[in-house]
Amino acid sequence: MKKLSMAIVLTLLISMLAACSSNGGSSNTGTPQSSNNGSSSSASGNASSEKVTIDFWHSMGGANGERIDAMVKRFNESHDNIEVVATFQGGYDETVTKLQQSIASATGPDVSMLERAYVQMFSDSEVLADLNPFLQQSGMDESYFIEGLMGHSTFNDQLVSLPLNRSTPIMHVNKTILDELGMDVPTTWEELKAVANAAVVKEDNEITRYGMSMPYDTWYPLAMISQSGSRFFDEAGTTVPFVTDGTGEEVFGFLKDMQGTGALFYPPSADSGNIVNGMFTEGKLAILYQSTGTIGGLIQNVDFEYVTAFLPQNEMFATPTGGANVVMLEDSDSKDAAWEFMKWMLTDENGALPFIVESGYLPVTHAMIESDMIKEQWEKEPVRKTAYEQLQYAVDTNKDVAWPSIMHEFFSAIEAIMYDSEDIAGTLQGFQKEAERLLSE
Amino acid sequence: MTQVFPIARRVLEYVLKLCLLMVFIFPFLWMISTSLQTFRETLAYPPTLVPAVPQFVNYLTALEAGPFGTYFKNSIIITLSIIVMQMVVLIPAAYGFAKYSFRGSGFLFSLVLLAFMIPGQVTFIPVYLMMADWGIGRTLLPQIIPFMTNAFGIFLLRQYFKQVPEELIEAARLDNASELKILWKLMLPMSKPALATIALFSFVSHWNDYFWPLVMTDSAAVRPLTIGIAMLRETEGISNWHVIMAGNVILVLPILLVYIFCSKQIVKAFVYSGIK
């Protein structure tokens, strides 16, 4: 008796559950569907063809996530035969994990945003589609895009990714402080050191204003290595020349010197970006090395004269690039439709352009730079133009499949030097050994 | 002298309690305070504790940032389904382990305890592949099925059932009560505190779960509130902490309500099992 009634209750509950969840599923597809009532005017070839759904995964939360959603809505409203479903998959790293996981279980998307440093890893696993044929078919070639942003696009003669939301580090300057000091915006490391030291304010032995800061990230040491004329990985991808040629010691020695005098505030690792943004906004920093992605937020919130400039040179100007590219998955069943969407994003003036303009990411094609939208913005907010101009010095020397794991080792070295003040040469030699082991794997 | 000493002791007791309370409650107060600040106030150092003008609009901004209706509905369906299913499975299981002696019961119970000790990180990849294989990735089921049993719940409820005197059950059997009736009319009413505890723990852990839904879901349609809140964060650029915290307040509100509702029962559960 007991068993029987339990079984009945159980079946009932399971069916209830199933009903609930299928409701949940179908009610969702309702949202994107409603958008195709919008306009039927677009040039869709044959009305009889069935609507193709393209899954597009991205890593944009917050306001930028809303801008991506708006972009996809514009696409769906102008394309009767394709429907793009955009889904946020967490930050860049989380998106990578989701992609790995979904590719293994054959539930991956058609198109995805992919942080540029991870492109090679996926390309080596042969899960990304070669975009060359699609580019040719559309009468385009690589010269359509800005050269400095194509560093993570071609691997093994295949064009596997195109730039989408790209950024670089630049120097954000509180010009009001520099004017008070009667100093110019620094263009070399020596000038930077002088300005940063002059900007320090101490009250009762406590520093209330630092000279400069940068988030806890590999980006800035990488930039400084290139600025000193060295490389992170050698061309062959076997070692880390910046350690053996002494550049590493020079870079970290420079940072430690500045940290010792209060000229450099090196933030705690957790949430470092927000911490230094806050300090800069509050006028507690004269200079900030930070991504171009923060320009929009800073313009809105600072109440001093805010300018941007190239990262200062040691022996040369140099900057790494960052942000994400867009890729097509080899497993996609609807590659033509997926390309249609990618092409639209990168070429149509209603594509990714409004997203790029509003977010502060870099324009990625020459056509975007010529567009009225970018021209108007640069006229109104010249701080944004600096980042594009700096691109002529873009160089990425951390390209290797092993980068994601070596990056963790590099972070450990940065922590040991910047937080625990361990011996620079010894720490870097330890890092070199570990990096070479990972490179040889 | 004898009068002063107890008073001093009590004062000390209250001061210590107050300190402890602050440790636990301060993060909540800060969250609520941040949720009512302007962007500038969130950046200020030293931190703003009381916003100049409470910005209730932050809540609206958070809610408008995504399909929060769907997220909220999903969270409720998932959490309630899990609790109901767990109760259906664990009540008979606990009754069996507590009041029946059958061959292999010790072994089976140790299996339950073993399940209690295996961390989810060990099993999530095979479980994910299994769910993908079944083709239910775009439903809410992958967030419910793996949690239909609750080893901790079986354990807790079994201990509770064991304290119900055997004589009561015998008396009921003499009155021709079915096992189901004994369970329903006798065991469950006497175990209310334990049931409330299990339900609340289950509710809190699944309502707050971030890891599992993040792994199991790849479309907004089936995602719960926790993932929706995480979406408010910027990947690059400047995060709007005031909006994120408003989202967090919305997230924890149901938990606080349920806790206020259940707290008496929970305290009872622990006091009871403490005396034994």
pLDDT digits (tens, 9 = 90+) for A290-314: 998 888 888 888 899 999 999 999 9
Q: Is residue A378 included in any domain, yes or no?
A: no
Residue A24: which of B65, B85, B221 has the nearest Cβ?
B221
Q: Is residue A10 included in any domain, yes or no?
A: no
From A301's Cα to the closest Cα of chain B, the distance in A is 7
**Does residue A7 carry a pLDDT above 80?**
no
pLDDT digits 0-9 by tens, A38-66: 333 344 444 446 789 999 999 988 788 88
Q: Is residue B90 included in any domain, yes or no?
A: yes
Shared-domain flag, residues A268 and A392: yes
Note the pLDDT of residue A399.
Answer: 85
- What percentage of chain A has pLDDT greater than the value 70? 89
Q: Is residue A36 included in any domain, yes or no?
A: no
Mutation target to probe the B interface, by most B beta carbons within 10 A, among A12, A13, A17 is A17
CATH number of the domain within which B210 lies: 1.10.3720.10
Shared-domain flag, residues A173 and A308: yes
Q: Which two tokens stand for residue B91?
A: 């009540």
From B179's Cα to the closest Cα of chain A, the distance in A is 7
Question: Between residues 336 and 375 of chain A, which touch chain B (CB distance below 8 Å)?
Answer: 359-360
CA B184 to chain centre: 24
Mutation target to probe the B interface, by most B beta carbons within 10 A, among A21, A34, A272, A362 is A21
DSSP one-letter string for B75-127: HHHHHHHHHHHHHHHHHHHHHHHHH---TTHHHHHHHHHHHHHS-HHHHHHHH
Question: What's the start-to-end Cα distance of chain B, in Å?
Answer: 38
From A73's Cα to the closest Cα of chain B, the distance in A is 14
Shared-domain flag, residues A313 and A267: yes
Domains of chain A: total:
2
Residue A394 CA: distances (Å) to CA of A397, A420, B117: 10, 31, 51
- Chain B residues with CB under 8 Å of A17 CB are 81, 85, 141, 144
Shared-domain flag, residues A356 and A240: no
Residue A393: other Cβ atoms inside 10 A: 18
Instruction: Please give the residue range of the domain that contains residue A61.
Output: 50-167+323-370
Q: Is residue A351 included in any domain, yes or no?
A: yes
pLDDT digits 0-9 by tens, A209-228: 999 999 999 999 999 999 99
Q: What is the ipTM of this complex?
A: 0.72
Q: Is residue A37 included in any domain, yes or no?
A: no
Q: Which two tokens stand for residue B159?
A: 């201990």
Residue A83: other Cβ atoms inside 10 A: 20
Shared-domain flag, residues A201 and A255: yes
CA–CA separation, B116 and B200 (whole Å): 17
- Chain B residues with CB under 8 Å of A284 CB are 45
Shared-domain flag, residues A96 and A232: no
Shared-domain flag, residues A187 and A103: no
- Chain B residues with CB under 8 Å of A87 CB are 218-220
Note the pLDDT of residue A150.
Answer: 92
Q: Is residue B247 included in any domain, yes or no?
A: no
- At residue A338, the 3 state secondary structure works out as helix
Q: Is residue B246 included in any domain, yes or no?
A: no
Interchain CB distance below 8 Å, B214 and A18:
no
**Does residue A30 carry a pLDDT above 80?**
no
CA–CA separation, A439 and B30 (whole Å): 46
Letter for the amino acid at B147?
F
Query: Cis bond leading into A382, ω under 30°?
Result: no
Length of chain B: 276
Q: Is residue B221 included in any domain, yes or no?
A: yes
Q: Is residue A44 included in any domain, yes or no?
A: no
Residues of chain A by 3-state class (helix, strand, coil), percent to 5: 50, 15, 30
From B247's Cα to the closest Cα of chain A, the distance in A is 12
If you compute the radius of gyration of chain B from its CA atoms, what whole number of angstroms results?
24
Interchain CB distance below 8 Å, A10 and B88:
yes
pLDDT digits 0-9 by tens, A126-175: 999 999 999 999 999 999 999 889 988 999 999 999 999 999 999 999 99
From A126's Cα to the closest Cα of chain B, the distance in A is 21
Shared-domain flag, residues A173 and A163: no
Closest CA to A319 of A422, A402, A214, A415: A214
User: Quick check: B149 and B86 in contact, CB under 8 A?
Assistant: yes
Interchain CB distance below 8 Å, B43 and A18:
no
Residue B99 binned pLDDT confidence (cut-offs 50, 70, 90): confident
Measured over the CA atoms of residue B169, residue B172, residue B174 and residue B177, the dihedral's sign is negative
Shared-domain flag, residues A338 and A409: no
User: Quick check: A383 and A308 in contact, CB under 8 A?
Assistant: yes
Interchain CB distance below 8 Å, B128 and A105:
yes
Q: State the greatest distance between any 2 C-alpha atoms of chain B, in Å, as a whole number.
A: 76
Shared-domain flag, residues A269 and A406: yes
Q: Is A291 on the interface with B (CB under 8 A)?
A: yes
Shared-domain flag, residues A332 and A293: no
Q: Is residue B141 included in any domain, yes or no?
A: yes
HSE, side-chain direction, 13 A CA sphere, residue A118: 20
**Pairing mode, if any, of strands A201-203 and A206-213?**
antiparallel
Domains of chain B: total:
1
From A92's Cα to the closest Cα of chain B, the distance in A is 7
CATH number of the domain within which A194 lies: 3.40.190.10
What value does the mean pLDDT take over residues A87-112?
A: 90
Q: Is residue A17 included in any domain, yes or no?
A: no
User: Quick check: B220 and A88 in contact, CB under 8 A?
Assistant: yes
**Residue whose entry in the numeric block shows the structure tokens 């082991």:** A437
Instruction: Please give the residue range of the domain that contains residue B221.
Output: 66-231
Interchain CB distance below 8 Å, B178 and A27:
no
Closest CA to A101 of A113, A89, A85: A89
Shared-domain flag, residues A196 and A296: yes
Note the pLDDT of residue B3.
Answer: 61
Residue B18: other Cβ atoms inside 10 A: 10
Q: Is residue A303 included in any domain, yes or no?
A: yes
User: Quick check: A71 and A345 in contact, CB under 8 A?
Assistant: yes
User: Quick check: B238 and A274 in contact, CB under 8 A?
Assistant: yes
Q: Which two tokens stand for residue A281?
A: 């906004």
**Does residue A248 carry a pLDDT above 50?**
yes
- At residue A22, the 3 state secondary structure works out as helix
Note the pLDDT of residue B4.
Answer: 65
User: Quick check: A315 and A246 in contact, CB under 8 A?
Assistant: no
**Does residue A440 carry a pLDDT above 50?**
yes
Question: Between residues 171 and 230 of chain A, which touch chain B (CB distance below 8 Å)?
Answer: none
Note the pLDDT of residue A22.
Answer: 39
Interchain CB distance below 8 Å, B65 and A66:
yes
CA–CA separation, B118 and B127 (whole Å): 14
Mutation target to probe the B interface, by most B beta carbons within 10 A, among A16, A88, A165 is A88
On whether the pTM is more than 0.95, the answer is no
